[in-house]
Amino acid sequence: MFSMESLEFFVMGIECRTSNDPEVGPQQIGAHWQKFMQDGVYSRIVNKSSDEIIALYCDYDGDHTQPYSLVIGCKVSSTDEVPEGMVVKLVPRANYTHFPAIGDYPKVLAETWGNVWQSDIKRTYTGDFEVYGEKFYQDPKQVDIFVAIE
Residue 113 φ/ψ, nearest 5 degrees: -60, -40
> Model confidence at 5, in pLDDT bands (50, 70, 90)?
low
Domain around 28: 2-149
Q: For residue range 99-148, what is the model confidence (pLDDT) as tens digits?
A: 999 999 999 999 999 999 999 999 999 999 999 999 999 999 999 999 99
| pLDDT of the residue at 3 | 53
Cβ contact 12:76 at 8 Å: yes
Distance between CA atoms of residues 148 and 150, nearest Å: 7
Alpha-carbon span 125 to 111, nearest angstrom: 19
Specify the pLDDT at position 4.
59
pLDDT digit string, tens, across residues 29-72: 999 999 999 999 999 999 999 999 999 999 999 999 999 999 99
| pLDDT tops 60 at residue 2 | no
Q: Is 108 helix (H, G, I), strand (E, B) or coil?
A: helix
Predicted local distance difference test score (pLDDT) of residue 1: 47
The total number of structural domains in the chain stands at 1
Residue 23 in this model has a pLDDT that exceeds 60 = yes
Give the residue from 51, 10, 55, 53 showing the smallest Cα distance to 29: 55
Domain holding 34: CATH number? 3.20.80.10
Q: What's the pLDDT at 7?
A: 78
Return the minimum-mean-pLDDT range out of 1-10, 46-55, 63-72, 88-97.
1-10
